[in-house]
Structure 1
Amino acid sequence: MTRSWSRRTFLRTTGVTALALGLTSGPLLTGRAAAADEFGDLRAKWRTLILGAGFSPTAEPFRTKLAELGTRAAGLQSTMAPATGSLWPDAVWTDPEPDTDQESFGFSAKMNENFSRLRTMAEAYCQQGTGLTGNASLAADIVAGLDHMYARIYNENQTRYGNWWSWQIGAPQALLETCVLMYDRLSATQIANHCRAVDHFVPDSAVGTYTGTSTGANRVDLCRVLALRGVVGGNSAKIALARNALSPVFPYVTSGDGLYADGSFVQHGTIPYTGSYGAVMLGGLGMLFALLAGSSWAVTDPNRQIVLDAVENAWAPFLYNGLVMDNVSGRGMSRGISATDPEQIQADDHLRGHGILSSIVLLGQGASATENARWRGLVKGWMQRDYYSPPLSNPSLGLVSLARLKAVADDTSVTAIAEPTGHRLFSSMARATHRRPGWAASISMANKRISYYETGNGENLRGWHTGSGMLYWWGDTYANGQYSDAFWPTVDPYRLPGTTTSRKTLADGAGGDWGAAKPDVNWVGGATDGTRAAIGQYLRGLQSTLMAKKSWFCLDDSIVCLGAGITCTDGTAVESVVENRNLGPSGAHAFTVNGTVKSVSHPWSETLTGATWAHIGGMGGYVFPGGASVEALREERTGRWSDINRSMSTTALTRRYLTLWTDHGTNPSDATYAYVLMPGANTTQTAARAADSGWVQILANTDDQQGVRLPSLGFTGVNFWFGGTVGALTASAPCCVMITEKSDGTAVICVSDPMRMQSSLSLTWNRAVASVTSRPSTVTGATTGSSLNLTFGDLSGTAGATQRITVRLG
């Protein structure tokens, strides 16, 4: 049992999955009576937030969900057996001498699980239609269970052990919510006991400074504990402290945990976490905003607007047709099927995404009418397009989230909004998203500030290469289950799509827990005009001598992928993976190369010599400019969720894959590759692109520079790893340049300093330019005429952001 299991167990019934109705407090009173009444209002409001309202307990899917809740609670009641070290015999929370830190973490998680079970029983007692609604015997057992927990483990005399999260967030949240639900069955002494225990483990000092474990999503969770402690115990100072302690979460950060101006969200210092911890923060803030609205403790900090803006600036770019992209979910992507409940799917990209949709609806109730209406339209669109995993059939979505999402789906005044198109570059967390009509893609990288991957608590043990240039992509009506359908436990972790890797064997958890391993590189990032982009990664392998330069040029219907300077002395093979498609259990997808249909049997392998194009039926096409030798492999792969996450199921799963890669051989020196990814293209389109030799001009593909020109698009993109001249562009120092020439006689020049180190930069474009029509303050000089010469001042403080210049061509 782990911290993360406890967190997601808890979130299925709270936080991210609760319904807020925007209730306001009752008539104002005065003095002590007013305070008592207001605490009662807040308890009532929190009950509504966690139980929901506005749905019929006899209508589906609620009737079935409520019955399941009742069955689960009855099972817990029947097996509860208070003992010295447990409340349930299968959830023992203590061991006199744990052998390892992992065991100690497990015992603290078991303590937390006991509180979570009591909360489940309390919900069954309070909800309609569970078969246990208002059951006196159940109520008595819940209260007795709380007393047992106080007497035996969670009290003011206990010293915490294992995982801090269990003691300061998981357990107190479940405990306090149970107290809210059972408030009328608890005596003043019992309430005081539980509040005293919470005060012991979560003192005011827990939010005294914005550091360590008290930042970002964790800070919001701690504030939630303090606010509920104040509500349950009638302590206005605690509620005020919780509200005030939220303020450090709101402003943009420039390092460490939190939201960045470019839309990045980081937790644990170096991990892109929009889809997991970010979801917790979003849901927690929505709950607290709703709870405190209209009360004496309403959140009025004007910086709260930053969080509201982040719905579309930070979260929406990583949501696609109901799913949230795995590359911003940290170790959460390794959570599949529970070992303790094999029928319970813990999470996948769709299930996590649905929780975020629910949180966006909740947060909208505290936003402007315009924002709320637009967000509801976005949510409705995401729901309607999620054919792979319809949100209202989500097995892990709580009653309250189901009610909230169903209300949006049934609201005829809400018009579904289509998926937006465009490019977003998140330099502060080394991620990019590229969205086009019919498909979306995302790139994962790593640098000095962002880890290769995150492992910890025995999770995500083989995510080693997810930051080595992994290129994810999804279609609108196809391939939405690509990473949902047992991909992570069955895929070859050395052959993730888009990556360049050494086949050197790595140990589970290689590099260390909590994102300890980061490559010693600066040049990672790119430039974008919001529609297209040039992106580059200076790659150093994890625990490897591998070095490479990787570039992606994100265009209208495709992504041009280049690799150069690929060098390694590990004594093992080095590969650049063009694709690794999860074909599902059947694997019946046609594979065509240069017009010839290949075998559909598993296993099958072939070296595709002289390949100019390839196509996977129902997926997309791949073009190899000038021809290439590509390895192809169809194979069945069997794995277990427990292979990558020790708390998950040991049941064997088999999926079929089609993998394409360039084999650079053993100990390559200065190897290269080039290919074009065309999501959704058919064989005719792929073959036509391959036949059009002038469509893409590779200007450079070396260890010094990589660049392409596409005359039909007026596009030029160059990654200057060391400065120099490429085509018509000359740069004095490392930088990224992207130019789009438009049919109206103008051009947009996008420049960035991915290294965040250039104190000056000069750029020459050997193209006639009549005038500069707009430029940022970082451009200190510009001369036009037969060529354009731009001089930049200090770019080191721009955080790798794109500097956009527009010109009128000569």
Structure 2
Amino acid sequence: MTTPWSRRAFLAACSGGAAALGVGAAPRAFAAPDEFAALRARWRTLVLGEGFDPGAEPFASRLADLGRTTRQYLAAMAPVAGSLWPDLPYGDPDPDTDQESFTFSGNMSTSHTRLSTLAQAYAQPGTGLTGDTALRDAVVAGLGHLHDDVYNARRTPFGNWWSWQIGAPQALLDTCVLMYDALSAEQLADHTAAVDHFVPDSAVAVYSGTSTGANRVDLCRVLALRGVVGDDAAKVALARDALSPVFPYVTSGDGLHADGSFIQHTWVPYTGSYGSVFLGGLGMLFALLAGSGWEVTDGNRQIVFDSVERAWAPFLHNGLVMDGVAGRAISRGLSAADPKAIQQDDHLRGHPVLASVLLLGQGASAAENARWRGLVKGWMRRDTYSPPLADPVLGLPHLARLDAVDKDPAVPAVPEPTGHRLFPAMARATHRRPGWAASLSMAGKRIAYYECGNGENLRGWHTGAGMLYWWGDTFTDGQYSDAFWPTVDPYRLPGTTVSRRVLADGAGGDWGAARPDVNWVGGATDGERAAVGQHLRGLRSTLVAKKSWFFLDDTVVCLGAGITCADGTAVETTVENRNLGAAGGAPFTVDGRAEPVARPWSKTLTGAGWAHLGGHGGYVFPGGATVRALRDAREGSWSSISTGGSPTVLSRTYLTMYVDHGTDPVNASYAYLLMPGASAARTRARAAERDWLTVLANTDDQQGVAVRSLGFTGVNFWSGGTVGTLTASDPCSVMISEKDDGTAVIAVSDPMLMRTGLTLTWRRPVAAVASAPATVVSAGTGRWLTLVFGDLRGTAGVSPRITVRLG
């Protein structure tokens, strides 16, 4: 057993060069086959990037920054028992302190990541340390210290499993590839033996627990690189074969669902966080193994390619990835550990997804690759809030891929698509129209209210209570990016109905443990418009409500009914809560009357017909409503919502509108229209069009609307009954779109996933049924249309669509 390096011995070794470290002293047991050498070379390229000019921007600055960071790490490196850097202790945590064990295991992993950073500075051009022998020796010695002190085959892991099985070994193996020629056979054997100890073959023997979805992809990356570094064909083959379970659609829990949902931790929508890891990891492994004896040839990998546009594209907007599918990652802003760190946000989470799409495209069909390159270029060009090529944390390989597509004149910038997408499996929806996009987050028996864990996202309690996000095409992209989460009132998230009952940090439990005992969550869509609903039960509250959203061409109609609570506290529905930034100067008018801009205020708007927030959009209250409104500056810190966050106090101004349902309301309701991007004149005109919208029902039993000029009818039947011209025998969601060509599309869904039969009658003359899914067992036409559905449970909440010719 080798003893840990002392500070003096470590520095002496570094100054003495490779011979002092024993580099190359032990002969290799066997020569690496050409194929393994080729795979190491390919991984080196994947880690370092290719095709960029290191002397040109944005690369020159990034490489210089890498050199500066490396020099700082080198200067601070001080190997002693229990740490390689003084600020990252990992030795002997208190066994009775879970948090310390998690912190120490994380520090061990981060120590490996720092060595990987040093190795990149050694291997990359333009860092000022390229090929530097002292840096090379320091990296090799650092690896030796971490091996002898903590990450070896004799150590029992503690704290976070992820640090031992994914974080540390990925960084360690990347470093081994980059420093391969500087490591002896003995040293390589030590490092691969440590990986074998913490990540045995059994880690991927069963597709369950922590070995599913994105975690499985990460584990396969470790196994593949372990094989590549150690010339072990069996390990590479195991990694390839262990990927196969992540490809097929799942019907519950972790992974990709047929409707485009991506779930991790069983209950949490995670397209924008774990899903990013999943997509990026598969892109790396497909590229690594392409053309080798271990190429991934499983036919189900096409499901991943299909999911680029089915699962990821709907949640990408102008370069950002929507927070409603980022889980607890929304609370990762400024770091307490590194005061110089960059604030994380939805744009910085989105950019790696764009680059991963480009990498994945290299293994897809030519048509898919070309289409995706156009999509990525469009997202990049429209991201004026946080341009991807100026992203300060994006890795150089990702940056090079984005730069290449941006400069390629043969690639057109594809505009944002329009249309509606429902994701019943994860209780999410997205709606896109020219000039704006929206996203809706709900919760039910199958999807958690929110996720906290590892001390993160401590106040995300109500993000699944009907939070309605929206963005403009060329405006308001900083709404959720600019310190929104630490400064917003967590009880007044836009779109939500909540009890003001005080909740403890992390209320409900970690890892998505808290889920409402409700089944009716979902809706119906024809792909352009939609009727969506949520049977709401409050987190740790007696609150119940029925909430519906009708997504139309320039408007989202929002209804609430049956709002009842006995918590002894006020209940509120938040119409809007816009982040106006530090200055907060957007003008606000109500029924044409301007409210103060320069000072904070709060007032009750009695009988309000419409309101407008300059630079954002309009709001209409059919028939008038009593709404509370306020403009105030709110303070908060990232440490208030995440234990690892910065304690620096931030301040942002908000314009908030909410309906106060009073204390312990019984059957309260609300109705309002959201018009993203609308001018004040357009908002006023909509409010004056008294017959534009007909609210057909807004009760605890049914909610529905009709817009005659659009040929739209949407009804959420919480229980069977009659609403307008529609009668349903059982709970369901229905939307109808009548077309100018004399046809109509009827979308029907079973959000509860419980219907073994359903009869729907539309009292409208219908000449014939042009098309219908197999779930329609009979259809009667003539003076009325009667549709009889069979078992709908197998539809998984997706909307079967029927096309009819009107009489």
Give me the TM-score of the superposition, normalised by structure 1: 0.95
Q: Residue in 2 aligned with 1:330?
A: 327
Q: Residue in 1 aligned with 2:621?
A: 624
The residue type equivalent to 1:786 in the other structure is R
Separation (CA, whole Å) in 2 of partners of 1:725 and 1:345: 55
The residue matched to 1:416 in structure 2 has which SS?
Answer: coil
Q: Does 2:774 match 1:794?
A: no
Query: How many angstroms does 1:343 deviate by?
Result: 2.8
Separation (CA, whole Å) in 2 of partners of 1:685 and 1:46: 55
Q: Residue in 1 aligned with 2:12?
A: none
Q: Does 2:196 match 1:199?
A: yes
- Choose from 736, 760, 780 the match for 1:783: 780
The residue matched to 1:511 in structure 2 has which SS?
Answer: coil
Separation (CA, whole Å) in 1 of partners of 2:622 and 2:576: 16
Q: Residue in 2 aligned with 1:23?
A: none
1:370-397 per-residue CA deviation (whole Å, 9 max, x = no partner) reads 1111100000000000011111111111
1:29-63 per-residue CA deviation (whole Å, 9 max, x = no partner) reads xxx99970000000000000001121111111111
Q: Residue in 1 aligned with 2:714?
A: 717
- Residues 94, 100 of structure 2: 8 Å contact kept: no
Separation (CA, whole Å) in 2 of partners of 1:487 and 1:446: 22
State how 1:256-295 maps to structure 2 within 5 Å.
256-295=253-292
1:143-162 per-residue CA deviation (whole Å, 9 max, x = no partner) reads 11111111111111100110
Stretch deviating more after TM superposition (597-606 or 207-216) = 597-606
Q: Over aligned residue pairs, what C-alpha RMSD do you find?
A: 1.0
Separation (CA, whole Å) in 2 of partners of 1:335 and 1:114: 20
Query: How many angstroms does 1:342 deviate by?
Result: 2.1
- Residues 486, 638 of structure 2: 8 Å contact kept: yes
1:697-717 per-residue CA deviation (whole Å, 9 max, x = no partner) reads 000000000000100001000
The residue type equivalent to 1:159 in the other structure is T
- Residues 700, 726 of structure 1: 8 Å contact kept: yes
Query: How many angstroms does 1:602 deviate by?
Result: 3.2
Q: Does 2:341 match 1:344?
A: yes
Q: Does 2:80 match 1:80?
A: no
- Choose from 698, 701, 708 the match for 1:701: 698
- Post-superposition, which runs of at least 4 consecutive aligned residues in structure 1 deviate over 6 A? 32-35
Q: Does 2:571 match 1:569?
A: no
Separation (CA, whole Å) in 2 of partners of 1:143 and 1:395: 28
- Residues 718, 737 of structure 1: 8 Å contact kept: yes
- Residues 571, 662 of structure 2: 8 Å contact kept: yes
Q: Residue in 2 aligned with 1:299?
A: 296
The residue matched to 1:797 in structure 2 has which SS?
Answer: helix
Q: Residue in 2 aligned with 1:27?
A: none
State how 1:89-100 maps to structure 2 within 5 Å.
89-100=86-97
- Choose from 669, 673, 676 the match for 1:676: 673
Separation (CA, whole Å) in 2 of partners of 1:150 and 1:550: 56
Separation (CA, whole Å) in 2 of partners of 1:234 and 1:805: 57
Separation (CA, whole Å) in 1 of partners of 2:776 and 2:372: 37
- Residues 92, 107 of structure 1: 8 Å contact kept: yes
Q: Does 2:735 match 1:738?
A: yes
Separation (CA, whole Å) in 1 of partners of 2:252 and 2:51: 42
Q: Residue in 1 aligned with 2:750?
A: 753
Query: How many angstroms does 1:744 deviate by?
Result: 1.0
Query: How many angstroms does 1:98 deviate by?
Result: 4.2
Q: Residue in 2 aligned with 1:21?
A: none
1:532-551 per-residue CA deviation (whole Å, 9 max, x = no partner) reads 00000000000000000000
The residue type equivalent to 2:707 in the other structure is L
Separation (CA, whole Å) in 2 of partners of 1:687 and 1:573: 31
Q: Does 2:366 match 1:365?
A: no
Query: How many angstroms does 1:611 deviate by?
Result: 0.4
Query: How many angstroms does 1:97 deviate by?
Result: 1.9
1:578-634 per-residue CA deviation (whole Å, 9 max, x = no partner) reads 000000111111111111111113320110001010000000000000000000000
The residue type equivalent to 2:710 in the other structure is L
1:430-462 per-residue CA deviation (whole Å, 9 max, x = no partner) reads 000000000000000000000000000110010
The residue type equivalent to 1:387 in the other structure is T
- Choose from 147, 154, 161 the match for 1:164: 161
Separation (CA, whole Å) in 1 of partners of 2:123 and 2:582: 42
Separation (CA, whole Å) in 1 of partners of 2:187 and 2:280: 29
The residue matched to 2:324 in structure 1 has which SS?
Answer: helix
- Choose from 532, 537, 555 the match for 1:535: 532
Separation (CA, whole Å) in 2 of partners of 1:35 and 1:151: 25
1:261-313 per-residue CA deviation (whole Å, 9 max, x = no partner) reads 10000000000000000000000000000000010000000100000010000
The residue matched to 2:65 in structure 1 has which SS?
Answer: helix
Q: Residue in 1 aligned with 2:488?
A: 491
The residue type equivalent to 1:87 in the other structure is L
- Residues 93, 100 of structure 2: 8 Å contact kept: no
The residue matched to 1:807 in structure 2 has which SS?
Answer: strand
Separation (CA, whole Å) in 2 of partners of 1:33 and 1:173: 24
Q: Residue in 1 aligned with 2:146?
A: 149
- Residues 344, 396 of structure 1: 8 Å contact kept: no
Separation (CA, whole Å) in 2 of partners of 1:491 and 1:393: 27
Query: How many angstroms does 1:99 deviate by?
Result: 4.1
Q: Does 2:420 match 1:423?
A: yes
1:730-765 per-residue CA deviation (whole Å, 9 max, x = no partner) reads 000000010111111111111000000011100111
Separation (CA, whole Å) in 2 of partners of 1:294 and 1:625: 62
Q: Does 2:313 match 1:316?
A: yes
1:494-552 per-residue CA deviation (whole Å, 9 max, x = no partner) reads 00000000000000010000011000000000000000000000000000000000000
1:461-495 per-residue CA deviation (whole Å, 9 max, x = no partner) reads 10000000000000001111100000000000000
Q: Residue in 2 aligned with 1:48?
A: 45
Q: Residue in 1 aligned with 2:25?
A: none
The residue matched to 1:791 in structure 2 has which SS?
Answer: strand
The residue type equivalent to 1:328 in the other structure is V
The residue type equivalent to 2:282 in the other structure is L
Q: Residue in 1 aligned with 2:602?
A: 605
Give me the TM-score of the superposition, normalised by structure 2: 0.96
- Residues 345, 396 of structure 1: 8 Å contact kept: yes
- Choose from 633, 648, 673 the match for 1:651: 648
The residue matched to 2:563 in structure 1 has which SS?
Answer: strand
- Residues 81, 91 of structure 2: 8 Å contact kept: no
Separation (CA, whole Å) in 1 of partners of 2:45 and 2:36: 14
Aligned length: 779
Separation (CA, whole Å) in 1 of partners of 2:127 and 2:37: 25
- Residues 82, 149 of structure 2: 8 Å contact kept: yes
Separation (CA, whole Å) in 2 of partners of 1:67 and 1:741: 60
- Residues 620, 687 of structure 2: 8 Å contact kept: yes
Q: Residue in 2 aligned with 1:470?
A: 467
- Residues 601, 634 of structure 1: 8 Å contact kept: no
Which runs of 5 or more residues in structure 2 are unaligned?
1-28
- Residues 346, 396 of structure 1: 8 Å contact kept: no
Distance 1:131 1:34, change over 3 A: closer
Which runs of 5 or more residues in structure 1 are unaligned?
1-31
Q: Residue in 2 aligned with 1:559?
A: 556
Separation (CA, whole Å) in 2 of partners of 1:546 and 1:102: 34
Query: How many angstroms does 1:95 deviate by?
Result: 2.9
Q: Residue in 1 aligned with 2:20?
A: none
Query: How many angstroms does 1:330 deviate by?
Result: 0.3
Identity %: 71
Query: How many angstroms does 1:646 deviate by?
Result: 1.1
The residue matched to 1:121 in structure 2 has which SS?
Answer: helix
Q: Residue in 1 aligned with 2:33?
A: 36
Separation (CA, whole Å) in 2 of partners of 1:522 and 1:180: 50
1:124-146 per-residue CA deviation (whole Å, 9 max, x = no partner) reads 11111111111111111111111
The residue type equivalent to 2:232 in the other structure is N
Separation (CA, whole Å) in 2 of partners of 1:421 and 1:744: 21
- Residues 569, 667 of structure 1: 8 Å contact kept: yes
The residue matched to 2:783 in structure 1 has which SS?
Answer: coil
Q: Does 2:591 match 1:594?
A: yes
The residue matched to 1:771 in structure 2 has which SS?
Answer: strand
Distance 1:96 1:734, change over 3 A: closer
